[in-house]
Structure 1
């Protein structure tokens, strides 16, 4: 099974990449998935620019076809996401809106970060969107409050609570990905 870790933040100076690197190492150590990272800053998807509705799967642009293949090839996702203005960021919404069927019946975990709330409002805001895409959100998320206090230069060094919550979320993702494997295969 493949886990696609999606780095949502695209802004210069972001903390999302070092957090995603830390989580990716934990996911590889966990062993439940083959792990791949999709960094939205590197993908640089333009604002949705396909003429056909994504539900049709008729993509004209190569960047959409490439994104479709990466998402379709995954069995589960983790969104490494900041909180912006009590919600999730535009780059993540855009990446979700590009596709439709590719997301369906796959579990999604949330690794959110921010100030006092640790990105919890962003997670609550995105749940209706992932539900509309027929994704299965895990209950056990990873929340990183006061994220700057866990940065050591360019490296993310989480506390024990954050560290242990990553394993809990990965365990749940494996269970759900396995449980929905036949549903995904049935199309």
Structure 2
């Protein structure tokens, strides 16, 4: 069965990211064409890339790397910080390349402008990591899709994630052949 990770994009205290990711996971688990699981980057306490190696930091990086390697595809849930992805997500992705290469990814974002600028920056990062990112994107507004701090998407925006699931599952399955060929080469 194709395995897709729903990956959080923030580690900040009081973050809305975890509740958005849990909502995406719940929607994904309504499907039967793939297995979906949550990967919360906050659980790994990743050091900043380039910090002096510490035993705990090295262990967390290895654990994170092994966890991400388990999946055939990803849906990254990113907030928009300063017209880009969060520094925590950029840092986490900087530890990965072979774990992501030749796999599929979709993006769900949120922000004052639906997180659209974060999506564009994340696409560039994913391209460099040899990830086939799909065209469809789930987009949510901080002004409309959150009520009293809780994620409560409008019906229209909630529907935006469905084509993301369709495309990520399709591409993840198609890229199995590419990964097999790359492993032999």
Aligned length: 178
| 1:17-72, Cα deviation, whole Å (9 max, x unpaired) | 111111100000022221111112222111125889xxxxxxx9221221111111
Distance 1:13 1:61 in 2: 27
- Aligned partner of 2:89 in structure 1 is 92
Instruction: Indicate the RMSD between aligned Cα atoms, in angstroms.
Output: 1.9
Q: Is the 8 A contact 1:6 1:37 kept in 2?
A: yes
- Aligned partner of 1:165 in structure 2 is 160
| 1:102-146, Cα deviation, whole Å (9 max, x unpaired) | 11011111110001x11100111121211111001110000112x
Distance 1:48 1:33 in 2: 32
Post-superposition shift, 1:159?
1.1
1:5 aligns to 2:1 (yes or no): no
Unmatched 5+ residue regions in structure 1? 53-59
| 1:137-176, Cα deviation, whole Å (9 max, x unpaired) | 110000112x243224564221122221111110111110
Secondary structure of 2:36's counterpart equals strand
Distance 2:91 2:32 in 1: 30
Choose the corresponding residue for 2:174, options 156, 171, 179. 179
TM-score computed with the length of structure 1 as normaliser: 0.88
TM-score computed with the length of structure 2 as normaliser: 0.89
1:27-176 to structure 2, matched below 5 A, reads 27-49=28-50, 61-115=58-112, 117-145=113-141, 147-153=142-148, 155-176=150-171
Distance 1:65 1:152 in 2: 38
Unmatched 5+ residue regions in structure 2? none
